[in-house]
Structure 1
């Protein structure tokens, strides 16, 4: 447990200093490459859990401290130890003893007594500390106050359920490759492999418990991919037709690119500005035995990569706050700032305006985000329509725009389908 607790402390410390959680975990596992798979999994679980419940954990720690900590390494250590005491099945005495030992390992041996006392006090005062959320919304919902306030404003009847969902474990959902199999046949393979699952809709199957992809039947052969049910809507909403030319802007890691190619025989150009992330697009295409043109380029600067041929369909899966997927990335809610939303909205508008001239007359552009904030979604589209008279908003499933809020089946996504037609005569 010692390597696990110290590893989680180092990862959480990196995130609290402003680093992306996935990057922090990847670096730690590269540095400590001799860790056993079970140790890696435990470090990841504790890091994720600590960040999911960070608001409450920090409130608890502040109540237990008589004065500020002098060593910055102690805060993440105490946060993960309190998380372990409250949310894991590890023996409490072992959690406390290992935290004291880690204190010495990190050169803060003089604080051993303090660490021991704080954790013992947590155990004694636990019932009282559990009630902190009654008076403190950040402690209750483990989200920044500005985030809570925005959800209250825009989702007056749903905000509490949305926050609770954001702090839950995400479902593991699969997308069936229609070129290889179908959902009923794959459900049978899962059952034979001892993996419980249920059929959600079309090509979406949700596992009752997450498993490593190596356990999924025919995964390496491209029969199935891991993709949230909400994300699977993108390819379906584009209304793809055989032989069309399609642009997937901001394509990495390539899940939607591959889904489009599984659904129809179309010519896809996948663009992303991040060369490193494009390697994931190539990997996914190769595993699924699909073909697309992959280019490194900025979606907001098409003159650098566009050949001048218009596209029949464009998927603009633009950068956003990722506020709809925080249960998969709990670091997001602590790393984002309220001012970031306006910055994302500006970037999104630039991309939309840059991509619109690339769409053929009569073509369709699907605007997509994994955000739940209207400034990045409905407000963005309304402003775009005001700027472009030749843009028409098409209904999606009976709604003018489609905002998915996170629930047990899917994450939070937003979709708006725009058609290009001649501007009205004056």
Structure 2
């Protein structure tokens, strides 16, 4: 599908349809697309754009089922975006608080902004027929469509989780809460919660995390008390376990590999402020800017470098590390509830390619670890091929690698901790801790 330019004049629904088109037809991430259109709108409209476009991602199979029922034949070429506009209209009618009148009228009008004024009648007819035929009230007898997931991922979860698969799929579609991590080098949990209380911000504390806050409502993060002073970072509870499992100590050399946007890097510094050296490495220069911004705001001193983890000659100083955190490139299937477009950006054959990349990086970094050192392998995936299967094979192939169990039930054949989406309100995540033989 050829590129589609952003509508010349801003229009809420046309811009939203453009975002949906970019994700589904061009393979762009929602973050990248939304950033472009949100420059044109105010804060309230930006929230609407995000809610609607990501809502379509969550409900896409059902919306497409309705569209196929209502549309005689698919639209092609530069008119394809009108299908995405109709998907947005269907989502508004059935899953949003938008009035029925506005959902139809404003969506029809938006066709003109997409250079498709001649298809306004078609958009109107499809949306009116959807209401007239009451399609939303007619059950769809297809588990995959009802799951909101692509077929390959539905089946992968079925295979990995068996009796628990429905629960995992449901949690994958749930809304993720916002977690904060208190920067204990700048304030205390008590002082921070008192500031939140004073600002009328509602939250709960976590039983599993000593310096974590879970916000009750969606909030403007930059407006929270202490943001400019670096009193906290936004970081899911599962990601907060990385520094806890890594156990950084004073006077150590530590590598945080694939570090962007820097949440785990900051937490490592907070848990071991007297450590000798912390290197935050990432291959993506644009994402490293986020690391720099976050470290500056949190007032942390770390070395930040761009580099390929599998090619250390370009960035490594030759000194071995005491501890390495490998937050490996992965399918991100554990954070789909937070980034629902991921389910449509990932393809089944991506998993094998990612597993090969993970192993290549793992093998390379193992050579940079001191004898007796610790490597913590982490992914935000829920698929065994990237997680327990990956680490079990590495342990089998690597004589000087030993499992350092995180849980009581681990074995070298079934290593690590797999966190399921929604478990203790956390994202889906995997951790395995390995120690290099001192001999």
* Equivalent residue, structure 2, for 1:365: 375
Q: Deviation per CA, 1:174-215, whole angstroms, max 9, x where unpaired?
A: 001111223233222212111110001211110111201122
- Taking the TM superposition and a 5 Å limit, the aligned residue runs for 1:3-18 are 3-17=11-25, 18=27
Q: Which moved more, 1:265-274 or 1:411-420?
A: 265-274
Which of 46, 50, 54 is the matching residue for 2:56?
50
- Where 2:80 maps in the other structure, the secondary structure is coil
- Per-residue CA deviation, residues 287-328 of structure 1 (Å, 9 max, x unaligned), is 011100111111111122111111110000010000000111
Correspondence for 2:33: 24
Whole-Å separation in 1 of the counterparts to 2:136 and 2:225:
48
TM (norm. structure 2) is: 0.92
- Residue equivalent to 1:197: 203
Aligned equivalents of 1:165, 1:375: Cα separation in 2: 20
The answer to whether 1:184 aligns with 2:190 is yes
The answer on 1:322 being equivalent to 2:328 is: no
Q: Could you state the TM-score of these two structures normalised by the residue count of structure 1?
A: 0.95
Distance between the aligned counterparts of 1:276 and 1:116, measured in 2?
A: 42
User: Match for residue 72 of structure 1?
Assistant: 80
Alignment of 1:230-241 (within 5 A): 230-241=238-249
Q: Secondary structure at the match of 1:73?
A: helix
The secondary structure found in structure 2 opposite 1:85 is helix
Task: Name the residue aligned to 2:89.
Answer: 81
**1:119 maps to 2:127:** yes
2:376 alignment partner, SS class = strand
Residue 427 of structure 2 corresponds to 411
Is 1:97 paired with 2:105? yes
Deviation at 1:130, TM superposition (A): 4.6
Tell whether the 8 Å contact from 2:16 to 2:49 is kept in structure 1 after alignment: yes
Is 1:354 matched up with 2:364? yes
Question: Which piece of structure 1 moves more, 334-343 or 201-210?
Answer: 201-210
* Kept after mapping to 1: 8 A contact 2:30/2:341: yes
**Deviation of the 1:360 alpha carbon:** 0.7
Work out whether residues 173 and 226 of structure 1, in 8 Å CA contact, stay in contact via their aligned partners in 2: yes
Q: Supply the distance in 2 between the matched residues of 1:82 and 1:4 (Cα, whole angstroms).
A: 16
State which drifts further: 386-395 or 342-351. Answer: 386-395
* Pairing partner for 2:294 from 267, 284, 295: 284
Aligned partners of 2:94 and 2:136 also within 8 Å: no
Unaligned runs of 5+ in 2: 1-9, 411-415
Q: Is the contact made by 1:319 and 1:369 (CA closer than 8 Å) also made in structure 2?
A: yes
Q: Matches of 2:66 and 2:199 in 1, distance apart? A: 43
Q: Is the 8 A contact 2:66 2:135 kept in 1?
A: no
1:128–1:220 distance in 2 versus 1, CA, 3 Å: closer
Matched-pair contact (CA < 8 Å) for 2:322–2:370:
yes
Q: Give yes or no for contact 1:172–1:226 (8 Å, CA) kept in 2.
A: yes
**Cα offset for 1:374?**
0.3
Asked if the contact 2:11/2:113 (under 8 Å) is kept, the reply is no
Deviation at 1:157, TM superposition (A): 2.0
Mark the CA change 1:15 to 1:130 in structure 2 (over 3 Å): closer, same or farther.
farther
CA RMSD of aligned residues (A): 1.5
The one-character-per-residue Cα deviations of 1:75-99 (angstroms, maximum 9, x if unpaired) are 1100011111111111111111112
- Gap change, CA 1:160 and 1:204, over 3 Å in 2: same
- Whether the 8 Å CA contact 2:239–2:264 is kept in 1: the answer is yes
Greater Cα offset, 348-357 or 84-93: 84-93
Moved more, 291-300 or 105-114: 105-114
Partner of 1:402: 417
Shift of 1:158: 1.8
Q: Are 1:53 and 1:167, in contact at CA under 8 Å, matched by a contact in 2?
A: no
SS at match of 1:68: coil
Counterpart CA distance in 1 for 2:42 and 2:372 is 55
Partner Cα separation in structure 2 for residue 138 and residue 148 of structure 1: 7
1:269 Cα deviation from its structure 2 partner: 0.9
How far the C-alpha of 1:55 sits from its partner, in A, is: 1.3
For 1:417 and 1:106, the matched residues in 2 are separated by 51
What's 1:421 paired with? 437
Q: Take 2:82 and 2:158, find their aligned partners in 1: how far apart are those partners?
A: 34
- 1:137–1:145 contact (8 Å) kept in structure 2: no
SS of 1:395's equivalent in the other structure is: coil
Deviation at 1:127, TM superposition (A): 5.2
> Structure 1 stretches of 5 or more lacking a match?
none
Q: 2:344 aligns with which of 318, 330, 334?
A: 334
